[in-house]
A and B are shown apart, each in its own frame.
Chain A
Amino acid sequence: DIQMTQSPSSLSASVGDRVTITCRASQSISTYLNWYQQKPGKAPKLLIYAASTLQSGVPSRFSGSGSGTDFTLTISCLQPEDFATYYCQQSDRAPLTFGGGTKVEIK
């Protein structure tokens, strides 16, 4: 199985900050990488698929990059509604594994 490792597991940031979350795959997955946002008590929401393609309706302050084993989710200017937990997921092969999550908290 492909293991997905996210870092950091949590971070504190202020509104307006630039935030970067990284995700590393245990083997190359090309660009088969998705990012999700989850708020407490809610279902996850797809933000980015195929490593860098913004899902329809997602604000442009979210961006993704990377290929192979190393990927990045960037929030260019953190907004109050962005405080949440973020997960990466590889879609290269079953089982479709998720990273452990990164909780973005208010500083």
Chain B
Amino acid sequence: EVQLVESGGGLVQPGGSLRLSCAASGFTFSSYWMSWVRQAPGKGLEWVANIKEDGSKQYYVDPVKGRFTISRDNAKNSLFLQMNSLRAEDTAVYFCARDKSVGPTKLDCWGQGTLVTVSS
């Protein structure tokens, strides 16, 4: 069974940092792009970033460029999101999702999400 489990969320002050993790199982992790998607309380979905199978390419949404870094460890079947200079508007549930293997993106498996709250 394909499974994604996020961890690392919590309460952080504005300007602070947090590192999210996503543990993957049930599929060949190194064969898939992976994405992070977030959802602010009561709002819609916002794609945040994705990373190529071997980690050689990453793409980001403009509001997080220069502050967030997506990375992966294929030996440990793990995906990460390093979040620096956090702002109140980064408050959201963060989901990791399995992205494409071939062809265009389709997010076909999602974790349960981890809540990040940025507040003083």
User: Chain A residues in contact with chain B, CB under 8 A?
Assistant: 1, 32, 34, 36, 38, 43-46, 49-50, 55, 87, 89, 91-92, 94-101
Contacts and interface: CB of A to CB of B under 8 A. Distances in A.
A49 B95 CA distance: 19
Given A43-B95, A95-B61, A50 B110 contact: no
Contacts of B50: 94, 96
B62 interface: yes
- Chain B, interface size: which category? 20 to 34
Given A43-B111, A43-B113, A98 B95 contact: no
| CB-CB nearest 4 A-B residue pairs | A43-B110, A94-B59, A91-B105, A49-B106
A43 B113 CA distance: 7
B2 to A, nearest CB: 12
Contact of A55 (B62, B104, B108): B108
Interface in B79-120: 95, 100, 103-108, 110-113
Contacts, number: 62
Contacts of A32: 104
B44 to A, nearest CB: 5
Given A96-B35, A98-B44, A101-B44, A46 B108 contact: yes
A53 to B, nearest CB: 9
A44 B45 contact: yes
A5 to B, nearest CB: 12
A92 B111 CA distance: 23
A94 B47 CA distance: 9
B54 interface: no
Contacts of A97: 47
Given A87-B44, A98-B45, A43 B112 contact: yes
